[in-house]
Amino acid sequence: MSSPVRVVCRGCLRSVEIGAGDDLDVEPSGECPFCGQPLDSRSPATGSTADGDGADDSNERNGVSSHSTSDWVTTWSRGSLGSLGRFQLRERLGDGGFGEVFLAYDPRLDRDVALKVLRLANPSERVMERFFREARAAARLDHPNIVAVHDAGFDKGRCWVAYHHVSGRPLWWCRDHHPFDPAAAARILRELADAVDHAHQLGVLHRDIKPANILIDDHGRPRLIDFGLARRSDLDSSLTHDGAIVGTPAYMSPEQALGLSRQVDERSDVFSLGVIFFEILAGRRPGLSATLATPNATSLDGQKPNRADRTSPLAINPAVPPALNRICMRAMADKPDERYPTARALADDLDAWLHKQVGRKRGGAAKKAVIATGLVLLSLASVASGWMLANLRPWGAATRGASPEISRLLSPSTDDDGREIPTSTPTQAPSPTSREPHASTVALGDSRFVGNLRKKRYHLATCDDVKAMAGANIYRLKDLAEAVELGLKPCDHCQPDSQPVPQSKE
């Protein structure tokens, strides 16, 4: 009992799962539940796009008999995605001249893969070598911005390569629907340049870098795919010869466009990155591709590619920073010697620009934080000063009318003998006229007794201790009863409590 087969209706292009027998040639029955058209289509898929080895491919196609057409091809031509080897084909993701890409399920490893299938059935050895060259080139690479290869093989007359499935959109789609700001464009190209440099370090030249071969995943990270035209520097391949133009014209370097394949090196990939950078900065490509100026030329020296007048991305989009404009134009220089020598140098310049932008943002945020803190502190100080002015009385008002003890506490400090303690580190000795007046200069009137509230004692007005007291410490007592009421003790020298109390006159 086989698993259900997903059939694509040729009328509405919707997919429908139907039961399938053990024989793959069992015709799907019934009608499409969406549009009502029969699910079975007798019109087989015709034709295929020839690759670079056209003569070999045509001979191979002519030699394919009806018996050599595999059961999978028969099922596929009827509209069912069917299966290939162990893979269950679920959805067609893309279609190219050399092959097609399907979303497929790998039951052995229980995961989805992007399965690239060679369009030509039962290919020649040369075609197979070209197809599997992509798998071998990509399998050497291990980078987060390069889609990994899981497996490759040949089943039922078909060559296939299983890639890691990336959920995302091509760069050209993102460019058209969600234009990139300069910082996002610089980040994307920096990551791509880092990935290309990784490939170059392992001797792999991509030679076909273009937006269609770059996926932007769900996290906004660019992923480089399709190493079908890649060349390994450690192999002397005869698949590409001088004069053969390999790549996509709009993104070719001049040496590629002139067919000088032996002069193609890392700087050719840098040129393609520059064109992509121009495109995502300005929103369009810089101009027409280069064409051969002198046929059968053997060197780029003296050649002048026929290009449309090239402008800069800054001239098209004024929001492009001048630094990014210079980086883009250097990467796109016609002469290889005027470009970045490596993709690493391009990535380093972009990385330096991005770090500078981050520093500016942090500096601006810190400056704003300092200003905001200063404003808050200034407001608090204003509120505090206003409260103090509104709630605190002047010093004289605070001491005026206070009790003698409070007045004494608020008065300048004095020593045990009643003399004022000088303030710390005076600038100059006080003049005699500025000192506190002593009791000898203070009018005591007819008071017989004088109190010292600080020392809790009272004296006779004629006592020598009174003469040494500071005027601020003198308290004139009405009589001894007031001294007792204030809790003052008699002086040991003059003994005021032993003095006779004057008799009142009757």
Q: How far apart are CA 500 and CA 506, in angstroms?
A: 18
Angle between helices 343-391 and 322-331 (to 10 degrees): 170
Q: Is 208 a catalytic residue?
A: yes
Q: How far apart are CA 276 and CA 296, in angstroms?
A: 29
Residue spans of alpha helices (H) in 306-342: 313-316, 322-331
Vertex 268 angle, CA 262 and 271, to 5°: 160
Q: Which long-range contacts (CB under 8 A, 24 or more apart) does 402-405 make?
A: 404/453, 404/475, 405/453
Residues 6+ apart with CB under 8 A from 283: 175, 179, 316, 317
Q: Which of 208, 226, 349, 465 is catalytic?
A: 208
Going by their DSSP bridges, the two strands 449-452 and 214-217 should be labelled as unpaired
Q: How far apart are CA 92 and CA 245, in angstroms?
A: 29
What ranges make up the beta strands (E) of 156-230? 158-164, 168-170, 204-205, 214-217, 222-224
**Collapsed DSSP state (helix, strand, coil) of residue 187:** helix
Check whether 455 is labelled as a binding-site residue: no
DSSP 48-77: ----S-HHHHHHHHHT--TTTS-HHHHHHH
Vertex 379 angle, CA 375 and 385, to 5°: 145
Q: How far apart are CA 98 and CA 51, in angstroms?
A: 6
Distances (CA, A) of 169 to 173, 186, 221, 301, 355: 6, 19, 11, 40, 27
Going by their DSSP bridges, the two strands 457-460 and 489-490 should be labelled as parallel
Q: How far apart are CA 262 and CA 336, in angstroms?
A: 13
Q: How far apart are CA 1 and CA 15, in angstroms?
A: 21
Angle between helices 182-201 and 322-331 (to 10 degrees): 30
Which of the residues are catalytic? 208
Q: Provide the annotated binding site for ATP.
A: 116
Binding residues: 116
